Structure 1
Amino acid sequence: MPGPQEQIAVTLSELTASLVGRHDAESVLRLVTAACENLLSASSTGVLMADPRGGLSVVSASDEQARFLELLQSRIDEGPCVDCVRHDTTIACPDLEDEHGRWPAFTRAALGAGFRAVHAVPMRLAGGAVGGLNVFYTAVTPWEEWQQRLGQVLGDLAVLGLSQDDDPARTQRLAEQTLTTLNDRVMLAHAIGMVAGALDIGTDEARRLIFGYAATLGSPVRDVSRLLTSGNLEVAELAAS
């Protein structure tokens, strides 16, 4: 039987291989469910996604009990996954017996279905939560930090798989993105040279100033580089920030 590290490597390699190859949403979600069972010892899993028509909809469940609980959350707008998506944060419930006051209807239903713990992980895209991955347990189950991180990785991989198109145009888009990235690097190198020369500093310090200025503005580094190289941003402004 493979050890924990080998099991993680094998499971994640299967999941990522499905993302770069030909895949459909059901295949990705099935692999995520298997990963939760194998790596996080989950009893059941479910996935709720933001519905363009409003609210949350069930897109995956490992069994009928999990599907019922996911559907219940979406219908009554109550539960760990609802809060997870609403607040874009992991919701940990190691013991549902402690949550009667928080989600009364969901907690009664979950305990009645034989579950005792649930952890909800946000599925993020473009800076916000677009869904949630629910990991259910039949016993009191606190998560350690590594489990929370792994749960987030699985949630991220799931949403990446769901957001990708499975068609030949992906290869062309990747080529275009690669070209854009290379052009951005050339422009950044030019900007670094300009800042280093103008301020008589090393390139590492010039890079730090550019990245720091971009972080302060909340702007992409390529936008700051473009402003510098086009003359629309004075080097002195970076030094003063």
Structure 2
Amino acid sequence: MPSSTDRESELLQALVELADTLVDDYDIADLLHMLVIRCVDLTGAVAAGLMLANQRGGLQVLASSTEQTRLLELFQLQVDEGPCLEAFGSGETVIVEDLSTEAQRWPRFTPEALAQGFRSVQALPLRLRKQTIGALNLFGDQVGVLAPHDLKLARALADTATIGILHERAIRRAEVLTEQLQTALNNRITIEQAKGIIAHAGDLEMGQAFEVLRDHSRRTNTRLSAIAHDLVTGTIRAADLLSGSTSSPGTP
């Protein structure tokens, strides 16, 4: 364990790095790798691993302090049991002081963890309010639990990382919605332009021109916006649409 001064300095650096996720672009893989390494450096854990839920709610191993830990985390997913899965499913911290007593709880995971030299584990859910997005495993090579202040420290780092991840996801969703709205607006402008072209070419009312567009869309199984774009850019001619239209007037 680092000295008190070094530990405070490393903790401050870790919090600064995590806080950067709220104000700047960041690599989520790098963030989570930093998180597990900091947890090992700053607490009594000998190894750490982290799983994060994908968009469908399935867990994936995203970071681990050692290759040994990564394989053990993957094993949890393979056998569908273990502290990380339990913490994610319940949204509650899972604390196991002595893994050798948990053979009935996790009959396949426990022997594998013991064979890897781990004797204790604490799994912390990555949770904000009622939303759980993953879990952090902290392994020990001795029977016992982390000191309360070490567990609180790991919890603080996990909470800060959770906020950063959810913040980034919210930005992405907002960007997608904004892009979808802009696309819809752009398509509507293009459709209005296409209606004008057809109306002028066929001496039609705008409502009738829209029906020509819609008829062609249905007849060719092509998106209305795609046909309008092709018409505006000259890829197809208004005469091509007018010659195939037999619809009655309508209103868009």
2:91 is matched with which residue? 88
2:17 is matched with which residue? 14
Counterparts of 1:54-203 in structure 2, within 5 Å, are 54-125=57-128, 127-165=130-168
- CA offset digits 1:7-55 (Å, max 9, x no partner): 4333323332354333111221122022101211321111112233453
2:36 is matched with which residue? 33
Q: How far is the alpha carbon of 1:5 from its aligned partner?
A: 3.7
Which entry has the higher C-alpha Rg, 1 or 2?
2
> What residue identity is the alignment partner of 1:36?
C
- CA offset digits 1:96-150 (Å, max 9, x no partner): 1121121111110001111111110000145221210011122223123322322
Stretches of structure 1 that go unaligned for 5 or more consecutive residues are 174-241
What is the alpha-carbon distance in structure 2 between the residues aligned to residue 161 and residue 54 of structure 1?
18
Give the direction of change, closer, same or farther, for the CA distance of 1:142–1:32 in structure 2 (3 Å limit).
same
Give the direction of change, closer, same or farther, for the CA distance of 1:54–1:27 in structure 2 (3 Å limit).
closer
Give the direction of change, closer, same or farther, for the CA distance of 1:117–1:53 in structure 2 (3 Å limit).
same
What is the alpha-carbon distance in structure 1 between the residues aligned to residue 37 and residue 64 of structure 2?
11
The alignment-based identity, stated in percent, is 35
> What residue identity is the alignment partner of 1:127?
K
Q: How far is the alpha carbon of 1:157 from its aligned partner?
A: 1.9
> What residue identity is the alignment partner of 1:140?
V
Counterparts of 1:218-229 in structure 2, within 5 Å, are none
Q: CA RMSD in A?
A: 2.6
| Contact 1:28 1:161 (C-alpha < 8 Å) held by counterparts | no
- CA offset digits 1:56-95 (Å, max 9, x no partner): 2111112221111111111222111111011110000122
Q: How far is the alpha carbon of 1:160 from its aligned partner?
A: 2.6
Q: How far is the alpha carbon of 1:3 from its aligned partner?
A: 4.8
What is the alpha-carbon distance in structure 1 between the residues aligned to residue 13 and residue 55 of structure 2?
35
TM-score by length of 1: 0.62
Where 2:108 maps in the other structure, the secondary structure is helix
Q: How far is the alpha carbon of 1:161 from its aligned partner?
A: 2.9
What is the alpha-carbon distance in structure 2 between the residues aligned to residue 112 and residue 125 of structure 1?
34
Where 1:102 maps in the other structure, the secondary structure is coil
1:236 is matched with which residue? none
1:239 is matched with which residue? none
TM-score by length of 2: 0.60
Q: After alignment, is 155-164 or 32-41 more displaced?
A: 155-164
Q: Which runs of 4+ in 1 moved over 4 A?
A: none
2:178 is matched with which residue? none
What is the alpha-carbon distance in structure 2 between the residues aligned to residue 71 and residue 120 of structure 1?
15
Aligned residues: 171
- CA offset digits 1:209-229 (Å, max 9, x no partner): xxxxxxxxxxxxxxxxxxxxx
